[in-house]
């Protein structure tokens, strides 16, 4: 039995430790059950902002969760000390190596995770093992690699003493499951066995199921899909499923996954939305108004905590908007809209008013963006442009001209406008090299902005990279140590 004075001393010690936990954010981690709003930060861009500019943009907008598609050292170095929770990614092409070699998984963890998780380092919470590896278009090429890669990486995290803090996840496309009604949701037959193994692994290691849901793609790929069902403002095409009524595609898709998880015995599995959003250009229906209405409706819907018919009052654990910035060098194989998902344009300027529910009512623009000089390359109006087609083809094969196509914001600027847009896109890509505006004498440099309405003729940004850091300690293992001290103290006190 502890004496009165020693118990008083112990209480003071415990009080001090709890105060330290509160100040460090460890208690907030345990208590906070609100859905986290994060963003995907992709970097497949012709005009890259400096990572330090992007991290500043995230902090200005109070975005505390970011999902990466790789583990770029410049990006991770710049996230040092930011306090932002990070998901790093392993590309599908690396799965074969990591699944067959513990040395390779050890190396990945050492180079891309543990080296950054130091005092003043990066708060890495997740490793995304592959990106939509079960996509039907991959025809099963990554299917057998996912679980062995997870097992190797879990061992590597354990060896690095990070397994309790860094969780492994596998972002899945919504085509991994199917159904005509949400309550009948099931994983694709060829995936049932592997999904059972995967979800069992996630469950035993405290990881959520990560899924990417895109109502826009349902609308884009199906002319019969009711447009108002893609949004959150009510619909005349509600889906009735027994006692449940679905008024938006997101809830229907989410509950189809819940039903699929229930069928394999994991109906309570936490779900994270790894990607969701709406593009602003490059296709009919991809515009600023639709993107704003969808994203704002989504955020208000999620933060209302209403949940869905199969999970009332239980919204997703986190959602990551797709995406932070436009990526003008992405493949357009899925469609021209693929380069225009950003809530910010490539240069970090907000495209529309959006309240993320994180404290700012409007998005704040990137600061201190370093632009090239204000000049543009356009078609010389005094020249005969009849033989310009080949020049346009060359310019647009290198630069991004997706806004010129049907449904794009620059689709209606006329033939000469199209030529000028293509010339300028190439000129900016070449960092305004004077020779890149020649086009056999058909181009000329102007200092008058040729933008028309919503059709914006861009000016490039410089792409020098500088790293940044400040003091931050990822709470992980340190929090656990302090918590153990608190619990030990309570036990001694009660003896």
Cα diameter, the chain: 99
The radius of gyration computed from the CA coordinates of the chain, to the nearest angstrom, equals 25
Answer whether 143's CB lies under 8 Å from 188's CB.
no
Q: Which residues are catalytic?
A: 132, 275
| Pairing assessment for the beta strands 85-90 and 65-68 based on DSSP bridges | parallel
Sheet bearing 65-68, strands edge to edge = 167-169, 123-129, 85-90, 65-68, 36-41, 318-321, 271-276, 209-212, 172-173
**Measured in Å, how far apart are the chain's first and last C-alpha atoms?**
6
Task: Give the position of tokens 């994180």.
Answer: 358
Find out whether the peptide bond into 323 is cis, omega within 30 degrees of 0: yes
Residue 126 CA from chain centroid, whole number: 13
Paired residues of 416 in beta bridges: none
Cα distances (angstroms) measured from residue 289 to each of 231, 293, 294, 354: 12, 6, 9, 11
d(C-alpha 107, C-alpha 153), whole Å: 10
| Virtual torsion, Cα 395, 398, 399, 400, nearest 10 deg | 110
Of the candidates 378, 394, 401, 365, the one whose C-alpha atom is nearest the C-alpha of residue 451 is 378
């Amino acid at each position: 039995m502890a004496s009165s004075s020693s118990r008083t001393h112990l209480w003071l010690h415990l009080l001090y430790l709890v105060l330290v936990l509160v100040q460090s954010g460890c208690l907030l981690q345990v208590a906070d059950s609100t859905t986290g709003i994060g963003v995907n930060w992709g970097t497949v861009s012709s005009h890259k902002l400096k990572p330090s500019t992007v991290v500043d943009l995230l902090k200005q907008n109070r975005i505390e969760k970011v999902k990466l598609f790789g583990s770029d050292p410049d990006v991770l170095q710049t996230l040092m000390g930011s306090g932002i929770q990070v998901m790093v990614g392993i590309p599908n092409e690396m799965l074969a190596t990591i699944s067959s070699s513990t040395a390779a998984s050890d190396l990945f963890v050492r180079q891309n995770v543990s080296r950054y998780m130091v005092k003043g380092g990066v708060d890495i919470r997740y490793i995304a093992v592959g990106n939509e590896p079960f996509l039907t278009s991959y025809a099963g090429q990554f299917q057998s690699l996912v679980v062995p890669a997870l097992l190797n990486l879990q061992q590597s995290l354990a060896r690095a003493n990070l397994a309790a803090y860094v969780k492994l996840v596998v972002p899945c496309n919504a085509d991994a499951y199917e159904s005509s009604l949400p309550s009948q949701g099931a994983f694709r037959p060829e995936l049932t066995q592997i999904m059972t193994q995967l979800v069992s692994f996630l469950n035993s290691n405290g990881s959520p199921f990560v899924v990417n849901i895109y109502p826009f793609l349902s609308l884009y790929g199906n002319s019969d899909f009711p447009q108002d069902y893609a949004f959150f403002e009510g619909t005349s095409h509600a889906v009735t499923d027994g006692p449940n009524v679905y008024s938006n595609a997101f809830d229907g898709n989410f509950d189809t996954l819940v039903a699929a998880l229930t069928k394999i015995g994991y109906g309570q599995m936490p779900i994270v939305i790894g990607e969701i959003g709406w593009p602003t250009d490059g296709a009919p229906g991809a515009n600023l108004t639709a993107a704003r209405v969808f994203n704002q409706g989504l955020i208000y819907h999620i933060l209302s905590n209403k949940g869905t018919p199969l999970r009332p009052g239980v919204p997703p654990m986190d959602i990551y908007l797709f995406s932070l910035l436009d990526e003008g060098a992405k493949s357009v194989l899925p469609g021209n809209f693929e380069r225009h998902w950003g809530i910010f344009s490539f240069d970090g300027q907000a495209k529309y008013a959006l309240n993320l529910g994180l404290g700012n009512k409007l998005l704040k623009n990137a600061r201190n963006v370093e632009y090239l000089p204000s000049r543009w390359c356009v078609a010389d109006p005094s020249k005969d442009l009849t033989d310009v087609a080949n020049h346009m083809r060359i310019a647009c094969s290198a630069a991004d001209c997706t806004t010129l196509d049907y449904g794009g914001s620059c689709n209606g600027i006329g033939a000469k406008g199209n030529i000028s847009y293509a010339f300028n896109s190439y000129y900016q890509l070449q960092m305004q090299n004077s020779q890149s505006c020649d086009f056999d004498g058909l181009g000329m440099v102007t200092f008058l902005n040729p933008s028309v309405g919503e059709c914006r003729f861009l000016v490039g940004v410089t792409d020098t990279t500088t790293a940044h850091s400040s003091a931050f300690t990822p709470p992980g293992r340190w929090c656990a140590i302090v918590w153990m001290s608190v619990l030990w103290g309570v036990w001694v006190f009660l003896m």
